[in-house]
């Protein structure tokens, strides 16, 4: 059964109180949403994703900040109303060294709070507000409840595909789930669930000695500090169910709030000052870009890609070709191009055309998780992610139909001024669907003024591809 919208319930409650002049509006009731998954499923999903998060996101690893955020988290977890406590859940708290005002929690309990969020909060209550809201999503098992509504877990967790690049085709079987962590982070909750998390979050806040109004205030702080323009990430994952600020404040009026709630604590001030004095943290966009450049390896490890040097004179593609093959596919490539396995993709490039900033001449082949079985939709989603991660590129015209690896496919042309060569670069992205539903892609790259040398090479490469995904 669908819960009536919170706004409607409030409206009718308000009506009753004015007409009949009831002295009190009762606390809004929260019920566990319908869920066909087991509690153990939440735990497993969260654990798998948190492993990826720790690999792909820079954790701050600063004892003092970490211990402090943990202590606030533990105080909140202890304040979860008994009917929403899951003994099997393991709430854990980590600080991500990222500048964006963001935080996210994974099913079963692992939570990540960005350094930017702690720096932005005006007091401990505001920081605790975001955490209490996140804890509420976990306690109410919203990720799997949403999957229950949508019929598959993949839908909930994977609609955004992989931002950090593909998986599967580099022959690294283990990389198949790709950037699941990032996807979960970007799960957009429904308005019903947002309302529930606001209400339960307020109750947890009050139980833990905070003023729930600080949860409402934090939404304003985030808006203000994000300086207009782009909607802050946290707000887009947690959309306003309508009158959020007023609703939380009204709920707070129904709760027992201690007379001297925790606001600016000495520990909060100390940690905030400490974080603000650290070197500027990267933004999530920068972290993603660096991750792509280094192929997921930390900067200490030398990857073959990192050993590359860009050269102004890159030799033309050889007219002779060689066969590249791995367990997932085979294709013909010019015999003077090397191949590199990097974050689950295979890159092909001649000497002088690869390095830390990616490739200037060559091709990248991989697969991305797709939220749509419709190739055209999956393609445009993927292209949008590429454009977001590579802000210098623009799309030239709409995708055109073509054949990729013997299948129906699309070719989408992007271009922009490359910061490596200082010249206009043309990137053509070929996409087709894999039997698994994932999106197969080949991105070919060359400077615009040399494109005439590469057109045939790229066409032959794309038509020679054989996929082993029967």
Residues in contact with Zn ion by CB under 5 A are 189, 194, 197, 238
What strands lie across the sheet with 321-325, from one edge to the other? 321-325, 329-334, 466-467
Q: 114 or 421: whose CB is closer to Zn ion?
A: 114
Query: Which helix (H) or strand (E) covers residue 324, if one does?
Result: strand 321-325
- CB–CB of 420/349 below 8 Å? no
DSSP state of 98: B
Q: Classify each residue of 436-468 as buried b or exposed e, where b means 16 or more C-beta atoms within 10 Å of its C-beta.
A: eebbbbbbbbbbeebbeebeebbeebbebbebe
* Shortest distance, position 139 Cβ to Zn ion, whole Å: 12
* Shortest distance, position 287 Cβ to Zn ion, whole Å: 22
* Shortest distance, position 201 Cβ to Zn ion, whole Å: 8
* Shortest distance, position 300 Cβ to Zn ion, whole Å: 36
* Shortest distance, position 244 Cβ to Zn ion, whole Å: 10
* Shortest distance, position 197 Cβ to Zn ion, whole Å: 4
Q: 41 or 134: whose CB is closer to Zn ion?
A: 134
Instruction: Burial-class residue 48 by CB neighbours within 10 Å (0-12, 13-18, 19+).
Output: middle
Q: 76 or 197: whose CB is closer to Zn ion?
A: 197
What secondary structure does DSSP assign to 168-206, as a single string? Answer: STTS-GGGGG-SHHHHHHTPPPPHHHHHHHHHHHHHHHH
Between CA 144 and CA 179 the distance in angstroms is 18
* Shortest distance, position 49 Cβ to Zn ion, whole Å: 17
- Residue whose Cβ sits closest to Zn ion: 238
CA nearest to 100, candidates 365, 273, 298, 282: 282
- CB–CB of 208/76 below 8 Å? yes
Q: 238 or 369: whose CB is closer to Zn ion?
A: 238
Q: 68 or 189: whose CB is closer to Zn ion?
A: 189
Q: 124 or 194: whose CB is closer to Zn ion?
A: 194
* Shortest distance, position 437 Cβ to Zn ion, whole Å: 28
Q: 215 or 353: whose CB is closer to Zn ion?
A: 215
Residue with token string 């304003």: 220
Between CA 426 and CA 423 the distance in angstroms is 10
- CB–CB of 93/70 below 8 Å? yes
- Residues 6 or more apart in contact with residue 408 via CB below 8 angstroms: 375, 401, 432, 433
Q: 240 or 415: whose CB is closer to Zn ion?
A: 240
């Amino acid at each position: 059964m669908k819960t009536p919208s919170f706004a409607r319930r409030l409206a009718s409650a308000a009506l009753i109180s004015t007409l009949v002049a009831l002295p009190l509006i009762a606390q809004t009731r929260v019920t566990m949403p319908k869920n066909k998954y087991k509690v153990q499923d939440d735990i497993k999903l969260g654990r798998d994703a948190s492993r990826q998060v720790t690999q792909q996101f820079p954790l701050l690893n600063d004892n003092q900040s970490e211990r402090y955020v943990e202590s606030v988290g533990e105080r909140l977890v202890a304040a979860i109303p008994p009917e929403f406590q899951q003994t099997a859940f393991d709430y854990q708290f980590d600080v991500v060294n990222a500048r964006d005002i963001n935080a996210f929690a994974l099913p079963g309990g692992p939570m990540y709070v960005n350094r930017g969020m702690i720096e932005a909060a005006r007091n401990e209550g505001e920081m605790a507000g975001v955490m209490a809201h996140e804890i509420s999503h976990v306690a109410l098992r919203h990720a799997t409840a949403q999957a229950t509504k949508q019929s598959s877990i993949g839908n909930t967790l994977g609609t955004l595909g992989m931002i950090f690049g593909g998986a599967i085709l580099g022959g690294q079987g283990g990389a198949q789930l790709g950037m699941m962590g990032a996807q979960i982070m970007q799960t957009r909750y429904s308005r019903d669930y947002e309302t529930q998390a606001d209400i339960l979050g307020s109750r947890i806040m009050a139980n833990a000695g905070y003023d729930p109004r600080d949860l409402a205030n934090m939404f304003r702080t985030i808006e203000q500090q994000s300086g207009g323009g782009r909607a802050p990430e946290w707000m887009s994952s947690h959309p306003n169910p309508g009158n959020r600020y007023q609703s939380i404040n009204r709920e707070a009026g129904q709760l027992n709030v201690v007379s001297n709630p925790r606001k600016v604590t000495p520990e909060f001030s100390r940690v905030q000052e400490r974080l603000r004095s650290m070197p500027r943290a990267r933004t999530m966009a920068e972290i993603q870009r660096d991750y792509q450049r280094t192929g997921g390896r930390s900067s200490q490890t030398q990857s073959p890609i990192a050993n590359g040097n860009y050269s102004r004179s890159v030799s033309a593609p050889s007219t002779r070709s060689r066969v590249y093959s791995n367990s997932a596919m085979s294709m013909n490539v010019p015999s003077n191009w090397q191949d590199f396995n990097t974050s689950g993709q295979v890159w092909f490039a001649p000497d002088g055309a690869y390095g830390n900033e990616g490739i200037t001449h060559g091709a990248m082949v991989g697969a991305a998780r797709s939220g749509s079985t419709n190739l055209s939709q999956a393609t445009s989603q993927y292209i949008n992610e590429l454009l977001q991660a590579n802000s210098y590129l623009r799309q030239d015209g709409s995708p055109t139909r073509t054949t990729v690896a013997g299948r129906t496919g699309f070719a989408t042309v992007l271009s922009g001024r490359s910061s490596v060569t200082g010249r206009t670069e043309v990137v053509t992205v070929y996409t087709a669907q894999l039997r698994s539903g994932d999106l197969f892609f080949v991105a070919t790259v060359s400077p615009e003024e040399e494109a005439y040398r590469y057109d045939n090479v790229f066409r032959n490469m794309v038509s020679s591809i054989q996929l082993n995904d029967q």
